[in-house]
Amino acid sequence: MTDIGAIMRETTAASQVIISIVPIVGIVMGCMVVFFYVLWGHRERMLMIDRGQYEPKPFELEVFSLLAGILLTSVGAVLTIVFALVAPASYALLGGLVPLSLGLGLLAFYLLRSRQRTA
């Protein structure tokens, strides 16, 4: 009788090539989707400008800094806790501290900017 587990653990050269090509193809296809999304958005804007229908959307820096600050702070806090539990005294801890400090900086910017506008 053959051992199914031993057969499953064996990898052939062909299977290793396929396993290594799949992520590469996925990344290339994802980049193509993003490229064509940006290209078609650009062409749409150009047509709207030619027809006189284009109205630029204002970029709200406060809303962006609040959203990015909340996301970076929460991701950084979780990563900091995980890395502190796994490897307390290593450089891996920076993987959580960097986004945490960036998020806190963006939240501080949002608070300072909103206080300036109300004053």
pLDDT, tens digit, 9 for 90 and up, residues 17-58: 888 899 999 999 999 999 999 999 999 999 999 999 999 889
pTM of the model: 0.61
> Residue 100: CB partners within 8 Å, gap ≥ 6?
72, 73, 76, 77, 79, 80
Question: Residue 119 has what pLDDT?
Answer: 72
Q: What percent of the chain has pLDDT over 90?
A: 68
Can you tell me the distance from the alpha carbon of 79 to that of 93, in angstroms, rounded to the nearest whole number?
A: 8
Question: How confident is the prediction for the chain on average, in pLDDT?
Answer: 89
Can you tell me the distance from the alpha carbon of 101 to that of 88, in angstroms, rounded to the nearest whole number?
A: 18
Question: Residue 85 has what pLDDT?
Answer: 93
Kind and range of the H or E run holding 86 = helix 61-86
Kind and range of the H or E run holding 37 = helix 13-51
Can you tell me the distance from the alpha carbon of 57 to that of 112, in angstroms, rounded to the nearest whole number?
A: 24
